[in-house]
Structure 1
């Protein structure tokens, strides 16, 4: 098979998909295990992501149209993040009041669907789907905003629910 310079072999496009599948397989194995949930640390990931998003938007400010779409993506991410947070299993040990969490298959399936949509959108133009063209920088800005909304609201929902469950366990 002859490949022209500048056009990677279609087989190279399968490498990221294989890596994603391996990571998701390993993650699925860990879903059934309960892990301690430290609600006082739930703010860390959103705070780090706010810094990353802020630096990204500061260094290369989006166009006004991209800002509008990114804001809509932030809101959509927040709504989906809240739903994903609701899918996480959280329980409080009634004797020790330790909080634990366990991922759900629905939450993992949710992430898989998002990854597939993103991969499909990113590769639509290279796959030759007619009429599809993406501004890569704008798409990146929109995905950063979406992820910020999703990561933040997932953890907000988990924090509020864990705190409520902890208060109920202490009252019992």
Structure 2
């Protein structure tokens, strides 16, 4: 006789373990400066915009869903601008190459977002990813992430260009 049981403890523990491993690897990589190429900062937001467009076109939100998604986009932009400001950007005075180094604050924002998204999906959807509440949570999360990624990259690009201009003007003064 087969009875359907509720979720096992492994269904809760495995995502936490995977997230912890990914975050640990990211934390280690975050401590090193990496080259920053201004000309490629638009790629991630553009790809994510295409994904969001596809999802919203395939399953358009309700009018209230659009409103909540717009609010989430605004909050994402604000959070992304702050996250971008926390990224350390330096210019090598000799070669004028740009480098970036993520900050712990930017990293903590990502951790909080992952945890909130997981909790919202479970709580609102009641375990059903196709419930209207779970779909709304997904739409809101996608709009927020679009604002976050786009504003982070825009702020970094503007600041990197300014720092590069300042560095070049000091060199030729």
Q: CA RMSD in A?
A: 1.8
Normalised to the residue count of structure 1, the TM-score between the two structures is 0.90
- Quote the offset at 1:76 in angstroms: 0.3
Residue by residue, what CA displacement relative to the aligned partner does 1:113-135 show, whole Å, maximum 9, x if unpaired? Answer: 222222222333659xxxxx971
TM-score (norm 2): 0.90
Aligned to 2:165: 167
Relative to 1, partners in 2 of residues 1:168 and 1:14: Cα closer, same or farther, differing over 3 Å? Answer: same
The answer to whether the aligner puts 1:157 opposite 2:164 as a matched pair is no
When you count helix as a share of all residues, which structure comes out higher? 2
Identify the residue that residue 4 of structure 2 maps to in structure 1. Answer: 5
Deviations 1:66-109 (A, max 9, x none): 00000000000000000000010100001100000011111111
Residues in 2 aligned to 1:136 and 1:8: alpha-carbon distance in whole angstroms: 18
Match of 1:72 in 2: 71
Q: Who is 2:60 aligned against?
A: 61
Answer yes or no: is 1:93 the counterpart of 2:92.
yes
Q: Judging changes above 3 Å, is the alpha-carbon distance between structure 1 residues 102 and 13 closer, same or farther for their aligned structure 2 residues?
A: same
1:100 is paired with a residue whose SS is strand
Tell me the equivalent position of 1:121. Answer: 120
Please list every run of 5 or more consecutive structure 2 residues that lacks an aligned counterpart in the other structure.
none
Where do 4+ consecutive residues of structure 1 move more than 4 Å? none
CA 1:158–1:62: 2 relative to 1, 3 Å: same
The size of the alignment, in residue pairs, is 165
| CA distance in structure 1 between the aligned counterparts of 2:134 and 2:119, rounded to whole angstroms | 13
Structure-2 change in CA distance of 1:10 and 1:134 (3 Å): farther
